[in-house]
Amino acid sequence: MSNIFIILAGGINKRLNSKIPKPYIKINNKELLQYSIDAANSVKDINKILIIYNKKHFKFLKDKKFNKFIKIIGGKNRAESAYNALKKIKKYNCKNILIHDAARPNISAVLIKKTLLSLKKNRTAIPSIKINDSTKIKIKSSIENMDRNKLYITQTPQGFRFKDIYNLNLKFFDKNISDDSSLYIDNQKKINLIKGDEDNFKITSNNDLLLFKKIKKQKNHFGLGYDIHKLELGRNLYLGGLLIPFHSGLKGHSDGDVIIHSLIDSVLGACKLKDIGTLFSDKDSKFKNIRSTKLLKKVLNLIKLKGYEINNIDINVITQKPKINKYRNKIINSISKLCNIYPKQINIKGKTTEKLGLIGKEKAIAAEVITSVSKYDE
């Protein structure tokens, strides 16, 4: 395993006027912590994500389920929290560690990739930005000027070789530090600065929170998908990735799953990535009788690389028989697992054609899907 992304989310609100712990405050119906998770999850070279949390806040995390992340209880300070994480992942034999503050929810996938790229040549990669304002320092009763050309603000995620950062934390896990690169500097070890991101600011006050709200003003994109297939006696019937007991199945080049096909088209449409026929031609033999869920996974990987995430899915299944209501929750759970989203983000409605046309004569099934997506780096 090459790269592990650690998110420190165990702090308490000292300067923020909120009863809810900072990582779990919601902006646009999404927790601050979730923004960092989504950014890291969108980078294919991140193999695993670790959430370091305060055990008093477990109720906010207990229902979170994602493919590649682990929850670990934090320590009494930042260094001990990082050390707890490093001990846990020692068994994975990873090369690089990225340590990020949940208090920086405006992290971009671009900065994560830039940090990983720097680690290919350097043992550390510390995002930083130059200070543009005139700066002073107070020494006792004296105020003196500082050379701003020599001053930098460091950000997260900070990248390190696992062995290096583990050995430092082993010795100094009880030390009170402001960031992980401080351990290197305090021990006369070199760090490598890379260009950070002005928008990757830390939320410490209510004003910071208001600024983040403005930046993350909802920018949704919508896509519409539609598909219809004839029913054929003796074929398996798949709807939403679920095998439905029925005497007939949907005829198609693949398994004919009209829900998944419509979902794929709606996702591609929302992300402006053409359509299912362009990506998976019915003239290509390698897609003959393929499960549509495999095609959906390919599309989901594609949109993740492009920086999109699914917000909501609304599905109409148009069928005389079988009746959808009986399988509604199972189909929702199936799509939830496939798309790595919560069931509450999915809605399914069963419709008939009042016995009109092919569908009304129980000779076909159709589906239409509207999907809403957001883009990480907008």
Q: Residue 164 CA to chain centroid, in angstroms?
A: 28
Let me know: does 58 contact 72? Beta carbons within 8 Å. no
Structure confidence at residue 147 (pLDDT): 85
Mean pLDDT over 127-140 rounds to 87
Q: Which two tokens stand for residue 31?
A: 């927790």
The yes or no reply on domain 3-215 and CATH 3.90.550.10 is yes
Site of tokens 């995430």: 309
Mean pLDDT over 38-51 rounds to 91
111 or 69, higher pLDDT: 111
Q: Give the whole-angstrom CA distance, residue 8 versus residue 84.
A: 11
Structure confidence at residue 68 (pLDDT): 65
Structure confidence at residue 91 (pLDDT): 82
pTM of the model: 0.61
The answer to whether residue 131 scores a pLDDT higher than 70 is yes
Q: Which two tokens stand for residue 190?
A: 């070199």
Structure confidence at residue 64 (pLDDT): 65
One-letter identity of residue 353: T
Split at pLDDT 50, 70, 90, the class of 237 is very high
Structure confidence at residue 32 (pLDDT): 93
* Residue whose C-alpha is closest to residue 265's, from 253, 278, 246, 251: 278
Which among 29-38, 95-104, 175-184 has the top mean pLDDT?
95-104
Q: Give the whole-angstrom CA distance, residue 231 versus residue 290.
A: 17
377 or 3, higher pLDDT: 3
Mean pLDDT over 100-124 rounds to 95
Let me know: does 131 contact 150? Beta carbons within 8 Å. no
Structure confidence at residue 66 (pLDDT): 59
Q: Give the whole-angstrom CA distance, residue 16 versus residue 104.
A: 14
Q: Give the whole-angstrom CA distance, residue 195 versus residue 153.
A: 10
Neighbours of 217 (CB within 10 A): 9
Let me know: does 123 contact 192? Beta carbons within 8 Å. yes
Residue 284: partners with Cβ closer than 8 Å, 6 or more residues away: none
pLDDT for 266-303, tens place per residue?
Answer: 999 999 999 998 888 888 888 887 899 999 999 999 99
CATH number of 220-375: 3.30.1330.50
Percent of all residues in the chain with a pLDDT value above 70, rounded to a whole number:
94
Distances in Å between the Cα of 100 and the Cα atoms of 61, 174, 202, 274, 363 are 18, 19, 11, 35, 55
Q: Where are the domains of the chain?
A: 3-215, 220-375
Q: Which two tokens stand for residue 96?
A: 């690089």
Structure confidence at residue 274 (pLDDT): 92
For residue 356, with 0-12 CB atoms within 10 Å meaning exposed, 13-18 middle and 19 or more buried, which class applies?
Answer: exposed
Q: Give the whole-angstrom CA distance, residue 22 versus residue 33.
A: 8
In DSSP notation, 118-181 reads: HHTT-SEEEEEEE--S-EEEEETTEEEEE-GGG-EEE-S-EEEEHHHHHHHHHHHTTS--SSTH
Q: Give the whole-angstrom CA distance, residue 297 versus residue 287.
A: 14
Q: Which two tokens stand for residue 214?
A: 């403005």
Q: Give the whole-angstrom CA distance, residue 248 versus residue 234.
A: 5
Structure confidence at residue 376 (pLDDT): 55
The answer to whether residue 218 scores a pLDDT higher than 70 is no
Name the strand (E) or helix (H) holding 224.
strand 220-233
* Residue whose C-alpha is closest to residue 221's, from 273, 265, 262, 270: 270
Q: Residue 335 CA to chain centroid, in angstroms?
A: 17
Let me know: does 167 contact 90? Beta carbons within 8 Å. no
The answer to whether residue 362 scores a pLDDT higher than 80 is yes
Diameter of the chain measured on Cα atoms: 90
Mean pLDDT of all residues in the chain?
88
* Residue whose C-alpha is closest to residue 39's, from 2, 64, 5, 86: 5
Q: Give the whole-angstrom CA distance, residue 54 versus residue 77.
A: 11
Percent of all residues in the chain with a pLDDT value above 90, rounded to a whole number:
54
Distances in Å between the Cα of 215 and the Cα atoms of 28, 36, 156, 221, 267 are 11, 15, 19, 17, 24
Q: Which two tokens stand for residue 143?
A: 């105020």
The answer to whether residue 378 scores a pLDDT higher than 60 is no
